[in-house]
Amino acid sequence: MKFTLVSTLFLLASPISVLAAIGDSCSHSWGKGTCKKSSDCGTSGFTVSGACPNDPSSVLCCIKKSCSPPAGTGYCENTSAGCSGGSFYSGYCPGDSSIKCCVKSTSGGGGTGSGAGILAKAKTQTGLPYVWGGGGCSGPSGGGFDCSGLTQYAICQWSKANGKQITIPRVSRDQYHYGTRVAVANRKVGDLVFYGSPDCNTRSNIYHVAIFAGDGKMFEAQKTGTKLGLYTFRTANLCPYAVRHW
């Protein structure tokens, strides 16, 4: 009897762990959300741990937050989930580097499909060397591409795959004047970005073109001695307009 009484008193004095039911609200320094299984948060949201106490590790706080970098409006998402059909942008979401703004590419401008498709065509040539005067609509020449040969190739191949052949001029100074111009601050993935010195007001001043890739990157054939790939987006000598073909 004594053992039973002590045991009963111990049980009554013990704290009872209460699970935060799936669907209950949760709060974190990065925002307010809903307790969900991590697999159910889906896109347009990100998950954080520790805000749904006593639940299984698979239940996390799912927080929905919109974000608006220059490329357009998107949602803060976990980078580990990827940004299907779009690109990540840093500095527009709460938390650490594991959470970034995902902006999906959309159709519009002068073509069909999305700018992500143009970037994807360019990326098929990753690793080829820069070759001055190299490349064009049909592919590399001399073993590689120069900057405008790469952009011409990407636009040609992407438009062909979408049932509409667009052949842009071969050199960057002419490409700058062909297509739909948008303020470079409003650039999106797949737009062509240009560089000129001392400015871009005179055709002959344009000396380089690249494909904007989002998240502070661009895909380019940069210069002799480099390979085609993603490089940091540069602002020095950047022309005031980007050109859109999608």
pLDDT in 10s for each residue of the chain, 246 residues: 444 544 444 444 444 444 556 888 899 999 999 998 877 887 778 998 888 877 777 888 999 888 876 656 788 998 888 777 677 788 889 988 889 888 765 433 333 347 889 999 999 999 999 999 999 999 999 999 999 999 999 999 999 888 888 999 999 999 999 999 999 999 999 999 999 999 999 999 999 999 999 889 999 999 999 999 999 999 999 999 999 998
Q: In which element (H, E) is residue 220 found?
A: strand 217-220
Q: How far apart are the first and last CA of the chain?
A: 82
pLDDT of residue 80: 85
Closest CA to 67 of 214, 198, 205, 192: 214
**Phi-psi bin for 162: left (phi > 0), alpha (psi -120 to 50), beta?**
alpha
pLDDT of residue 73: 73
Give the distance, in angstroms, between the CA of residue 106 and the centroid of all CA atoms in the same chain.
Answer: 12
What DSSP character marks residue 13? H
pLDDT of residue 110: 35
Q: Could you give all domains of the chain from N- to C-terminal order, each with its CATH number?
A: 18-104 (no CATH), 115-244 (3.90.1720.10)
Q: What percent of the chain has pLDDT over 90?
A: 51
Q: For residue 41, what are the contacts with CB-CB under 8 A and spacing of at least 6?
A: 47, 60, 62
Token pair recorded at residue 82: 């990827």
pLDDT of residue 111: 35
pLDDT of residue 19: 54
β-sheet with 206-214: strand ranges across: 180-183, 238-244, 192-196, 206-214, 217-220, 229-232
pLDDT of residue 105: 57
Burial track 82-111 (b if 16+ CB lie within 10 A, e otherwise): ebeebbbbeebbebeeebbbbbbbeeebeb
Torsional sign, CA 231, 206, 182, 158: negative
